[in-house]
Copies of this chain bind each other. A is one copy, B any other.
Amino acid sequence: MLTPSRRADSPPASLQPLQALVQDNLVRVNQRILDLIDQDVPLIQQIAQHIIRSGGKRLRPSLVLACAQLCGYAGERHIGLAAAVEFLHTATLLHDDVVDESTLRRGDETANAIWSNQASVLVGDFLLSRAFQLMVRDGSLPILALLSDTSAIISQGEVMQMAAAGDLATSEEDYLRIIDAKTAALFSAAAAIGGLMTDRPQAECEALGRYGRSLGIAFQLVDDALDYAASQAVLGKAVGDDFREGKITLPVILAHRAGTAEEKAFWERTLGEGDQRDGDLDEALRLIEAHGALQATFARAHAYAEDAIAQLRLFPATPERAALEEAARFAVERSF
């Protein structure tokens, strides 16, 4: 039910092939990251280590490594660039948690909850600066251009998301524009770096960028669906976080659009005005289910995953390509 896109005749997709391919290099990326925050301001070290160690799937640096391998890269530069991408992402997480007033991320206390919002803001700035230092040391102006553009787009997406909070006039198009900017842009850049590093033809760089973008949109769509579907144990965040924060995600947009006047009034009260009472989350889950809004969200995610996979046809059928294809299937089949 959570994974309407998996065909009955295929085995469940997994991130394992991708992880196995990049495993050795990812250890080196992690070491590089820890080396670069191991300096003489203790608070920076504590917070940066906390957020980096609580780390999640390391999808973005894995994409940098795997796409570089896909393009036949055999040097050392992808280690530093993968670290730069992870620093960019980590800076965003720190600021995100401040903006959302979150206290939990993947089951761990957030940095702003342990230290303070102030510390999270400043250490996020530090990590963003470190990301640019790493890119500058790499020395590729096209990659610097891509990642500085991406960094601006991410913050635009975050601002758009904040402005859309509680706004039930947010359309499906607005929503896609937001997740494209706040999530998919960095996935896209991470994938495209492999092509830029190896001076591949423009068509291949663009295909990699579009693979990453469609993968990122699929991941975010499923994240937003799981927030109305998963249990805390598997997702590491409570069901209904987005509901409580008044975030207007696709399941809500679809249920609201299809709802009766009375249902629209429910969404307006709970998300528009933020007036939430006991039982409201259950009612939200019921309405989303009743209108097939989760199914529809998963279906859109599935289409983006298919688009991601289609981009890889330009490349030879290597284990790298197979692992990247499976990562896209995993994005939509996962329940965590």
Contact = CB atoms under 8 A, between A and B. Distances in A.
Copies per assembly: 2
Interface string A113-130: 000011101111110111
A41 interface: yes
Nearest to A125: B155
Q: Is chain A's interface secondary structure helix, strand, loop, or mixed overall?
A: helix
Contact of A151 (B43, B124, B129): B129
A162 interface: yes
Contact of A162 (B91, B98, B99, B119): B119
A98 B136 CA distance: 29
A169 interface: no
Interface of A: 39, 41-44, 91, 95, 98-99, 117-119, 121-126, 128-130, 132-133, 135-137, 139, 141, 144-145, 148-149, 151-152, 154-156, 158-160, 162-163
B159 A119 contact: yes
A160 to B, nearest CB: 6
Given A136-B141, A144-B144, A159 B129 contact: no
A56 B43 CA distance: 31
A126 B156 contact: yes
A136 B121 contact: no
B129 A155 contact: yes
Contacts of A139: 141
A122 B95 contact: yes
